[in-house]
Amino acid sequence: MSLEGRASMRRIVERILGSYLQQVEGRGAKGAVDGRHLRAEMQSFLASADLGRILAEAHQQLLEASRKELIRQQRGDPFSRLLTHPMTEVLCDGRLSRDVLGNYFSFLHLVLGDTRDVLAARCREVLEELRHPDPLAFSWDSFYDDPRSRQILWTVLIRVSESFKRFELRRDWFISLMQNRPQAVSIGPNAFVPRPSHEEQHNFGLEEFNTMFAALFGQMRHLSPAEARAFERDFGVAPEKAFAPLLLALEEGGASF
């Protein structure tokens, strides 16, 4: 636990104990006597090794709770879910760790810039419309299959594909980015918490890159005729032509579709 974290946790404990002592001392003469005795005991406890151990354990528990809350927020965010959905199988069978998703979302933000917020807002609009008027009848599959959601997903995939024109250099950069382990994770605008010190770190190399990109882009080889026509109508190019350079480079690099 950092010095700043230790100091923050200690201040919280002191405020709790101080508030408790004020209540005791407010009970009259006997309370005042008890309060003086308890203050002496409190000072002894604050200086003990037991408090340090308790604070360290509580700090790790808070970090883990914050990490889980971040995951819950991402699972409820329609844009994050949409861009994760093509990787469902490889995430579920363990070929790809869910721990890479934080860096994956950071990559998408780098590639999309402000467009990310526009697309995320469109996802929320689609979600709200599908949930109305009967939220209980809603399923995420209906969101993934909605033509508007597919268009958003394809828009992102095109932008990602275009960013890989210099394939090997971009691939190596992407792997390096995915190997990065930030010391803190975001839990909201301008709000971050450090990662737990005991958190397991998962490797991300060429095999994981090929697994991820095959999951993301392999689907573009298997669009239905109606989907292919919709893609060409929306983007002015056939899907096989739009993604051919990237798919070829992935195959040459060892990816399996």
| Angstrom distance (rounded) from CA 41 to CA 38 | 5
Q: What is the mean pLDDT of residues 64-71?
A: 52
pLDDT of 12-29, one tens digit each?
A: 777 777 777 677 666 665
Which range, of 4-13, 60-69, 232-241, averages the lowest pLDDT?
A: 60-69
pLDDT of 71-92, one tens digit each?
A: 454 456 999 999 999 999 999 9
Reference 255, options 80, 83, 96, 82; nearest CA is: 96
Residues 6+ apart with CB under 8 A from 204: 100, 103, 175, 178, 179
Q: What are the phi and psi torsion angles at 245 (to 5°)?
A: -60, -45
If pLDDT is split at 50, 70 and 90, which confidence band does 200 have?
low
pTM over 0.85: no
**pLDDT tops 80 at residue 185:** no
Q: What is the mean pLDDT of residues 25-35?
A: 61
* Domain coordinates in residue numbering, the chain: 69-252
Predicted confidence at residue 34, as pLDDT, reads 64
Q: What are the phi and psi torsion angles at 198 (to 5°)?
A: -90, 0
If pLDDT is split at 50, 70 and 90, which confidence band does 209 have?
very high
Answer yes or no: are the C-beta atoms of 141 and 88 closer than 8 Å: no
